[in-house]
Structure 1
Amino acid sequence: MGTPSDPTSKEPTAQRDHGDLSIILAAAPLGLTIVAADGNTVFCSPAKNSDSFRTRRFDIDVNGRAYALSISLDESEWESREDELIRSAYFDDLTGLPNRSLLERSLSGLIADANGTFALAFIDVDGFKSINDYYGHGVGDRLLVKIAERLSAGLRRSDMLARLSGDEFVLLVSPVHDRLELERDLVWMSERLKEPFFIDGYEILVSASFGVSLFPDHGRAYDVLRDNADRAMYDGKTICKGTVRFFDESIQRVVDKRSRLEQRIRLAIRDKRVCCAYQPKVNLRSGETMGVEVLMRWRDEEGAIQPPGDFLGLAVELGLIDELTHLILAETVASIDRLNEMFGPTSTISINVAAKQAGDRQFMRSFVDAIEETGFASRFIVEITEETLLSRNEFQECILPMIRAIGAKISIDDFGVGFSSLSVLADITADEVKIDRSFITKLHRRPRNQSILKAIEALGHSLGMTIVVEGVESFEEVAFLQATTRVELAQGYYFAKPIVLDEVVSAGAEVEQFRISETARSSQPSRQFSGRLQQGLVSNERRY
């Protein structure tokens, strides 16, 4: 014969279910009593301590029969769960600070009262991503906790520090009686954050940028006050990180200008009003054009060709640079016959990628595939910026093999400033290094720059790299490079300005102006070459 737990048992299912239900109700963390209309108790869970229970009564009707249902809940457990729900809804798990929701509720109350001035300070930790990348996210999290503790020190009960997300904090200062006093307090907080943090044996130095908006002067709604404080923070960060910046009308003008430019960028991309300018890369000894660098230009609403200016930087920030780069590559490929006619069918083609792109495997995969599809990938040189070199190992191990696989080459652009150092040349197996124009300007009069140039040249050559100098503008600079260095290639206004193909008069003139005959080449700089390019047939913009 089967037991109650035996699936072969003949016990009626309803009877088993009724027994199981009784057991479940008895084990539940509540008191439950069901009494019929005649006063008989239908069900009663085991007796519990009534002092800690909260009881509610319900009258119910089932198939014409009346029952009284009493439910008792453990009040202490109920309150504990309420507290947990409130904490998860209104407080940050990592730092224990109020979160965005609680901040918005508090601000809404202050705005509704509108009986005084308060300040909203948007606080962003400078370079926090680099700290996470270097020390690891565990150290980064503990750093955020310690930053929250320092920011909280000295706050009044009426003030509130909240963490929005990541490394972003917002400080509500209420009330504000004196703006100068507020500024002094915020500067003090900013300076405190610059003192060392000691975490897991590391001494970590950071700073944070503060942007401040005031109610009601800078807005009468939370979103407006927050955005204006954010704008002030961003504006201050672009000038000097780790400072306190109050919102003002000049920032609003910058915001308006940026918004207009953003709209123009999006329209230019949508309407494909982006074009290319090509700057020759010239052999210093023969004067022969060995390659061209592709530079972006854009046509404004009137059709005039404009240099990139702030266009490129904002495109990177808005995440539009990938589409722009593909547009530039597509136009270059479409113009290959004219480029071959002007500069020769073996001339190299250099295209710049931003640091953000160079570290993005998905973008680089699509970009490399597009180059391979041209059918002449071996002519392309991918120019990477200095910032890329901060994550050189990832680039070397993941991105570089993609480029090598299609036969394209790598160039380190603007070498000698910013993040770059001689050790980079040993770490990145590049084919070319381009020396920044700041080292070339008036080179013949600057002995220290001459020494630096020769050091870069010697190391580059020993590693099999081609050396290119940028920004060559005078006969004296060319003569010095020829006489005292082994530098092979040069770019600059001495040889040619960036050339927009549509601005060249005719196909016949192209060949005459931009291809140098063998008889015109000599060991001296080709004045004929540079002179012809200065006759007003190309744009006179002063950008590279």
Structure 2
Amino acid sequence: MGEFDKNSALLERSLRELKRLSTFLDHNPNPIVELDRNGAITYVNLAVFQKFLDFTTERNAHPMLTGVMDVVARLWESGEVVATREISIGGDRYEQQISLSLENQLVRVYLNDITQRKHAEEKILRQAHYDALTGLPNRFLFIDRLNQSLARGKRRGQMVGVLFLDLDNFKQVNDTLGHTIGDTLLQHVAKRIESTIREGDTVSRLGGDEFAIILVDLDRSEDIIRISQKLLDIFLLPIQLKNQEIYITASIGISIYPRDGKVSEELLQNADTAMYRAKEQGRNLYQFFSSEMNLKIAEKLSLEMAMRQMLPEKQLLLYYQPIVELSSGKIVGMEALARWKHPEWGLVSPSRFIPIAEETGLIVPIGEHILRMACAQIHCWHDQGFQNLHVAVNISARQFHRQDILQTVGSALSESGLTASLLDIELTESILQSTEFTVATIFNLRAKGVKVSIDDFGTGYSSFSYLKRFSVNKLKIDRSFIQDIATDPDDRVIVKTIITLAHSLRLKVIAEGVETNDQLDFLRAHECDEIQGYLFSPPLTAEEATQCLSKWQYVSDVPPHGRGALLYNVLIF
């Protein structure tokens, strides 16, 4: 072959390569623009014109290129070759990367549409601080604002008022008219309260039909009386819902800084106590806190005293909710859930006794007992032939931050004979405050072989950056995101984002609160790893769980991600 033929073949290969690269760039869904060092456009791919109909190569004044040359100048000056920033174009948000080619002194501008991701992140952040039903600040944000108000009141020598407002007989509304009407009523109440308080004050929904209000810049207690009466007056007019008028009243408890407390939780608790006193006196009243009010304190003391007999009298029970692996349809684990069976009161709700146990420190011996019972039960199931079954146990913040937590976990494992890798410690996001103790404890648990999960992910303190620092194994998506994924596009985006994020970090994902086939189909389609919820089974006693493990069936000859891959039984005991 002559020299001419060689050059011709080389040129032909180069042209094919150039065409291939050009085709690749033109079919890239992300907009790409190339500029020379003076800012003149030298190349634009098709995605630019598809995304921005008003784009023209005659000028570079399009919002996509606004400020680009300023960034380029800084890059040349600093010697760096890449810069990344976020920009907004027509309401959509983009991550823009600007890179320099030092060889031919060209500038390339890339856009990546991050609008949905940003919306998902913002919704996660909002749900961590605001009530989903009313849009009001939640308890977390309320406490933060109250702390700020107390600091300002201390500097200025002013009072701060804390009002605890609870609707009277709201349960009757839910029981007679349904929860949908009840939720709508709460939304109307929230709007009326917001329109009544002053600018600078804060109203929060703490949960259920409970609202809390911060009153700032107070010089006289008479100001609190006036505002409290205005709040009661908003209930004089009925609330119109679906062609029916609903009359409802409220009771308000009031505590005042610094007279009734110096810290936020104390003031909120005292306002709560005063609210119960208002209900006792006939409802539809406001009541200031006084030191003689001990109704709530007496109830707490009664519960605390009874809880001290919980372990000696063997009143603490464990229920188990199956955890199902979606890829196989098998039960791969159980979550251990505490139940208190009091001889006189019957089953006491965990929401009633766990907070008091946390506050009094009783959660530590209770938590240790739960850990030992759960490990022993799982090992018992292993002996019965249910191999590789793991157990998930929630560890409270108070227990986790004890110096002997590693010893406690180690003792539970050694006493039961359970393999460490089959114990999954669930931690709430509030625990993941960046302390060296937290980092070291999680590291040491992992070193023992114990798995660590973040419970109720997306509802609490943590951010994505913590996932990188804390060496966890699994994220549990909170049921509040699962509940409406069949109908709420924002929840779908959030769940998909969490799953994608977790998998990119090589973490497993479990969804709790799965109750419908639509939720199951969505989670399977997006490759969620594990699920639990009433669709498969409620929490069961150890005996019922054993029967569940024995009777559980799955279809092994259907592809794991095919429809019908999982066949669950309705168990009759």
TM range (shorter): 0.5 to 0.7
- Indicate if the aligned counterparts of 1:333 and 1:374 stay in contact, CA closer than 8 A: yes
Q: Deviation per CA, 1:298-318, whole angstroms, max 9, x where unpaired?
A: 211159555423111110111
Aligned to 2:514, the other structure's residue is in SS state coil
1:513 is aligned to 2:547 = no
Q: Which residue of 1 aligns with 2:271?
A: 236
- Indicate if the aligned counterparts of 1:294 and 1:351 stay in contact, CA closer than 8 A: yes
Q: Deviation per CA, 1:351-379, whole angstroms, max 9, x where unpaired?
A: 11112222232334433443355431121
C-alpha displacement at 1:152, in angstroms?
A: 7.6
323, 326, 337: which is aligned to 1:281?
323
384, 398, 421: which is aligned to 1:378?
421
C-alpha displacement at 1:477, in angstroms?
A: 0.7
Identity, % of aligned positions: 27
C-alpha displacement at 1:518, in angstroms?
A: 4.6
How many residues in Structure 1 have an aligned counterpart in Structure 2? Answer: 334
Distance in structure 2 (CA, Å) of the matches to 1:377 and 1:294: 16
- Indicate if the aligned counterparts of 2:273 and 2:289 stay in contact, CA closer than 8 A: no
C-alpha displacement at 1:147, in angstroms?
A: 6.2
C-alpha displacement at 1:264, in angstroms?
A: 2.0
Q: Which residue of 2 aligns with 1:105?
A: none
Q: Which residue of 2 aligns with 1:159?
A: none
The structure-2 alpha-carbon separation of the partners of 1:423 and 1:352, relative to structure 1 and needing over 3 Å to count, comes to same
239, 263, 270: which is aligned to 2:312?
270
Structure 1 stretches lacking a partner, 5+ long: 1-124, 132-142, 154-179, 189-208, 216-224, 538-544
1:468 is aligned to 2:474 = no
Tell which deviates more after alignment, 515-524 or 375-384: 515-524
Aligned to 2:311, the other structure's residue is in SS state helix
Distance in structure 2 (CA, Å) of the matches to 1:478 and 1:233: 40
Q: Which residue of 1 aligns with 2:389?
A: 347
The structure-2 alpha-carbon separation of the partners of 1:444 and 1:233, relative to structure 1 and needing over 3 Å to count, comes to closer
Alignment map for 1:350-429 (pairs within 5 Å): 350-375=392-417, 376-396=419-439, 398-429=440-471
What RMSD in Å do the two structures reach over aligned CA positions?
Answer: 4.3
Distance in structure 2 (CA, Å) of the matches to 1:284 and 1:239: 50
C-alpha displacement at 1:181, in angstroms?
A: 5.4
Alignment map for 1:180-191 (pairs within 5 Å): 182-184=221-223
Q: Which residue of 2 aligns with 1:488?
A: 529
Q: Which residue of 1 aligns with 2:157?
A: 151
- Indicate if the aligned counterparts of 2:255 and 2:268 stay in contact, CA closer than 8 A: yes
What letter is aligned with 1:281?
A: I
245, 252, 255: which is aligned to 1:211?
255
- Indicate if the aligned counterparts of 1:357 and 1:364 stay in contact, CA closer than 8 A: no
Distance in structure 1 (CA, Å) of the matches to 2:505 and 2:563: 28
C-alpha displacement at 1:265, in angstroms?
A: 1.4
Alignment map for 1:190-339 (pairs within 5 Å): 211=255, 233-236=268-271, 246-247=288-289, 252-302=294-344, 304-339=346-381
The structure-2 alpha-carbon separation of the partners of 1:129 and 1:250, relative to structure 1 and needing over 3 Å to count, comes to closer
What letter is aligned with 2:524?
A: Q
- Indicate if the aligned counterparts of 1:282 and 1:288 stay in contact, CA closer than 8 A: yes
C-alpha displacement at 1:450, in angstroms?
A: 1.3
Alignment map for 1:62-101 (pairs within 5 Å): none
Tell which deviates more after alignment, 332-341 or 348-357: 332-341
Alignment map for 1:14-163 (pairs within 5 Å): 150-151=156-157
Q: TM-score, normalised by structure 1?
A: 0.53
Distance in structure 1 (CA, Å) of the matches to 2:273 and 2:320: 31
- Indicate if the aligned counterparts of 2:375 and 2:423 stay in contact, CA closer than 8 A: no
Distance in structure 1 (CA, Å) of the matches to 2:392 and 2:510: 12
The structure-2 alpha-carbon separation of the partners of 1:298 and 1:502, relative to structure 1 and needing over 3 Å to count, comes to farther
The structure-2 alpha-carbon separation of the partners of 1:410 and 1:434, relative to structure 1 and needing over 3 Å to count, comes to same
Distance in structure 2 (CA, Å) of the matches to 1:183 and 1:354: 42
Aligned to 1:310, the other structure's residue is in SS state helix
Aligned to 1:291, the other structure's residue is in SS state strand
Tell which deviates more after alignment, 367-376 or 443-452: 367-376
Distance in structure 1 (CA, Å) of the matches to 2:265 and 2:325: 49
Distance in structure 1 (CA, Å) of the matches to 2:413 and 2:374: 11
The structure-2 alpha-carbon separation of the partners of 1:181 and 1:127, relative to structure 1 and needing over 3 Å to count, comes to closer
The structure-2 alpha-carbon separation of the partners of 1:403 and 1:511, relative to structure 1 and needing over 3 Å to count, comes to closer
C-alpha displacement at 1:488, in angstroms?
A: 1.0
What letter is aligned with 2:301?
A: S
C-alpha displacement at 1:430, in angstroms?
A: 0.7
Q: Which residue of 2 aligns with 1:121?
A: none
The structure-2 alpha-carbon separation of the partners of 1:257 and 1:512, relative to structure 1 and needing over 3 Å to count, comes to same
- Indicate if the aligned counterparts of 1:349 and 1:381 stay in contact, CA closer than 8 A: yes
Q: Based on CA coordinates, which of the two structures has the bigger radius of gyration?
A: 1
Distance in structure 1 (CA, Å) of the matches to 2:292 and 2:479: 33
What letter is aligned with 2:426?
A: E
The structure-2 alpha-carbon separation of the partners of 1:518 and 1:249, relative to structure 1 and needing over 3 Å to count, comes to farther
Q: Deviation per CA, 1:41-76, whole angstroms, max 9, x where unpaired?
A: xxxxxxxxxxxxxxxxxxxxxxxxxxxxxxxxxxxx
Q: Deviation per CA, 1:364-395, whole angstroms, max 9, x where unpaired?
A: 44334433554311211111101011235431
The structure-2 alpha-carbon separation of the partners of 1:130 and 1:429, relative to structure 1 and needing over 3 Å to count, comes to farther
Aligned to 1:282, the other structure's residue is in SS state strand
546, 563, 567: which is aligned to 1:524?
563
Distance in structure 1 (CA, Å) of the matches to 2:512 and 2:385: 19
438, 456, 459: which is aligned to 2:480?
438
- Indicate if the aligned counterparts of 1:273 and 1:299 stay in contact, CA closer than 8 A: yes
Aligned to 2:472, the other structure's residue is in SS state coil
C-alpha displacement at 1:287, in angstroms?
A: 1.3
Distance in structure 2 (CA, Å) of the matches to 1:238 and 1:127: 21
